[in-house]
Amino acid sequence: MAQTRFSSLSTLTPARGVSALCKQLIHEELLCADHADQAEDIAIKGGQRLADVLAIRFGVAPLSIAEAYSQLFQTQMVNPQEALPTPSLVHKFGPAKAAKTGLLPWRMIGHDTIILTDKPEQFERACDDLTRTFGPVRMGITTTEHIEKYLIAHHQNCLVRAAETKVPLAQSSRNWQARRTLIGGILVLGLLIAASLLWPQLTFGVFCAWATLILILNTGFKVAAAAAHLADKNMQNISRVTPARLPKISILVPLFRETEIADHLLERLREIDYPRELLDVCLVTEGDDLTTRSAAFCPHGCGPSSCLMAHCAQSHGH
C-alpha cells in the first residue's frame, strides 16, 4: 500500500452510467456484449443493481466486478481481512449498520475517513450522513464477502446481540420463563385430574360441551368461507395482475442436524421459477451444527446460496 488512491464524492460523475461497468468488463474480456445488453435490460426493467444481475444471472465473479469498479472510479481495492480496519471507526458506525448498508469504515488517511464498499451508488447516497459522522470521507472498493467475513470474524458477538434485540422487548420472547410455564401447566393438569376424580360426571359433561362448541364453531367458519367464495361470482373473471417490478424475496430455511433433508431441500429450491437476482436463499443453522453445514454447503467451499445460484445460472444456459 505504498500508493493509495481513494475516491471522493466529486469523482462519482454521471458519465459513469449504468453501462460503464459492462464496458469495463467487456474491455477486460470478462463479459460478452450480448450478455451485457441482456444484463442491462434486466436491471433496468426490474429496478435491480446491474452488479447483482451480472453476478447472479451471468456468473461474473464479485471480485471481478469490484476490480472493474476500482478502475472506473480510480480508487483502490482493499481486503479488510488482510488490512484490518480501525476498530473505533467500525464501532462508531456500528457493525450491524455496516452489515446492513454494505459500508465499512476502514481507516483515516490524513483528515479523510476511508469507507469500503462494493456499492458505489450506496456510498453516494449515504455520503452526507457519513460526512456528519466521520467528517470528510472517501470511497474504497471491496467485496460483500470480504466485509461479511471481516465482521463475522471480529464483531460476531456485537452482531449476535443486535440480532437478538432487534425485536422490541414487548413483542419478543426474551422474557419467556419456561420454568414458570411448566409449573403452571402442571398445576392446571393437577386440577383437571382432581376434578375428574371428585366430580367425574360433571367434568366429562364440561369436556363434551367444550368439544361440541369447538366443532360447531369450526364447521361454521368453513360454511361461511364456502358461502363467501360462492357468492362472489366475479372472482373467477379477474385476470392475474403481473406487477411492473417483481419484489425481492428472501427465503429463510431453518435446519438443525440434517443430512438427507438438506440435499433434497436444496434440489427443490433450485426448481423455484423466479428471477435469480431477486431471490435470496438463507439457510439458518446453529453455530455448532457441523452436520448440516457439511451436507448443505457446496463441496467447492462456497456457501449454499452461492452454490444454489450458480446451479440455477447454469440451468438457464449462462
Whether this model's pTM surpasses 0.85 = no
What is d(CA 197, CA 188) in angstroms, rounded to the nearest whole number? 14
What is d(CA 243, CA 237) in angstroms, rounded to the nearest whole number? 18
Whether the CB-CB separation of 77 and 141 falls below 8 Å is answered with yes
Residues 57 and 126 in one domain: no
Q: What is the pLDDT of residue 1?
A: 42
Residues 36 and 68 in one domain: yes
- The residue range of the domain holding 38 is 17-72
Residues 102 and 46 in one domain: no
Q: What is the pLDDT of residue 244?
A: 67
Has residue 243 been placed in a domain? no
Q: From start to end of the chain, where are the E strands? A: 103-109, 112-117, 137-141, 249-254, 279-284
Counting as low any pLDDT under 70, the low residues of the chain are 1-5, 7-18, 232-244, 292-293, 295-318
Has residue 189 been placed in a domain? no
What is d(CA 246, CA 241) in angstroms, rounded to the nearest whole number? 11
The three-state secondary structure class of 222 is helix
What is d(CA 280, CA 124) in angstroms, rounded to the nearest whole number? 25
Angle, CA 300 vertex, CA 30 and CA 275 arms, to 5°: 60
Whether the CB-CB separation of 98 and 29 falls below 8 Å is answered with no
What pLDDT digit, counting tens, does each position of 17-41 carry? 448 889 999 988 999 999 999 999 8
Block residue for cell numbers 456500528: 94
Q: What is the pLDDT of residue 243?
A: 65
Block residue for cell numbers 480510480: 74
Residues 26 and 92 in one domain: no
Picking from 118, 146, 166, the residue at the C-terminal end of a domain is 166
The three-state secondary structure class of 199 is coil
Has residue 199 been placed in a domain? no
Has residue 203 been placed in a domain? no
Q: What is the pLDDT of residue 302?
A: 46
What is d(CA 185, CA 192) in angstroms, rounded to the nearest whole number? 11
- Selection from 311, 203, 230 nearest residue 266 by Cα: 311
Residues 84 and 67 in one domain: no
What is d(CA 219, CA 225) in angstroms, rounded to the nearest whole number? 10
Q: How many residues does the chain have?
A: 318
Residues 91 and 158 in one domain: yes
Residues 88 and 28 in one domain: no
Count of domains for the chain? 3
Residues 307 and 276 in one domain: yes
Has residue 94 been placed in a domain? yes
Picking from 166, 187, 209, the residue at the C-terminal end of a domain is 166
Q: What is the pLDDT of residue 5?
A: 65
Q: What is the pLDDT of residue 317?
A: 34
Whether the CB-CB separation of 137 and 108 falls below 8 Å is answered with no
Whether the CB-CB separation of 16 and 73 falls below 8 Å is answered with yes
Picking from 26, 54, 72, the residue at the C-terminal end of a domain is 72
Has residue 49 been placed in a domain? yes
Has residue 229 been placed in a domain? no
